[in-house]
Amino acid sequence: MHSSQNIEYNALVQTQGNHHATIDQIRAVEQALNFKLSEEYAQFLLRHNGGKCQGLACSISHPVRGQISILLDKFLSASASNVDSDLVRSYRYYVDSERIPAWFLPIAVDVGANMLGIGVNPAVAGRIYFWDHEREFLDDNGVFEVALSFDQWLRNIHEFR
């Protein structure tokens, strides 16, 4: 990611006191969930560790609605005190309630309560997926791929116009 994109990202995301994750916090997430985070995503947590978005969007190819732009609400954190922003608690809640597949780790939420997640099992590791909560009871669980890697997805984030 180019430094100008990092500056733009830093200006548009409020970290809510999370600032940077530590190596120990990332290891604790991996241990709690029993899988390893992709290197790209772990580096993102070390630099940014989640936060509330201000006017950030990304374009995705939706299987029903075609090319759309979604407005991001927040990035989840490795160390959030708020249950709605915590990686581990969000993952456990949605997997335990069978709303998302176990290979999907939520990493961001849009303003419509849909989630972006990263694949965590070997077949899909590091790929970014969108979970459309209005399609969660269909055969595909409402989950579809939007980027081949976390960095590719980050490069797609832009100011909402």
Q: Is 38 helix (H, G, I), strand (E, B) or coil?
A: coil
The encoded tokens of residue 128 equal 């970014």
Cβ 35 vs Cβ 63: under 8 Å: no
3-159: which CATH number, 1.10.760.10, 3.40.1580.10, 3.30.930.10, 3.40.50.720?
3.40.1580.10
Provide the Cα torsion 120, 125, 128, 130; round to 10°. -50
pLDDT at 105 over 90: yes
> Strands 56-62 and 115-119: what pairing?
unpaired
How confident is the model over 15-27, as a mean pLDDT? 78
**Mean per-residue pLDDT over the chain, rounded:** 85
What is the distance between the alpha carbons of residues 50 and 40, in angstroms, rounded to a whole number?
A: 14
Q: Closest Cα to residue 105, out of 18, 33, 157?
A: 33
Q: Which of 49-53, 111-115, 141-145, 146-150 comes out lowest in average pLDDT?
A: 49-53
What is the distance between the alpha carbons of residues 110 and 94, in angstroms, rounded to a whole number?
A: 16
Domain ranges of the chain: 3-159
How confident is the model over 125-142, as a mean pLDDT? 87
Q: Which of 9-18, 27-36, 60-69, 136-145 comes out lowest in average pLDDT?
A: 9-18
pLDDT at 2 over 50: no
The encoded tokens of residue 65 equal 């609605």
pLDDT at 141 over 90: no
> Across the strands, what pairs with 83?
none
Residues 82-92: pLDDT tens digits? 667 899 999 99
Residues 33-44: pLDDT tens digits? 999 999 999 999
How confident is the model over 147-161, as a mean pLDDT? 89
Terminal-residue alpha carbon distance, the chain: 21
The encoded tokens of residue 145 equal 């791929």
Which helix (DSSP H) or strand (DSSP E) does residue 25 occupy?
A: helix 23-33
Q: What is the pLDDT of residue 96?
A: 95
pLDDT at 9 over 80: no
Of the chain, the percentage scoring pLDDT greater than 90 comes to: 59
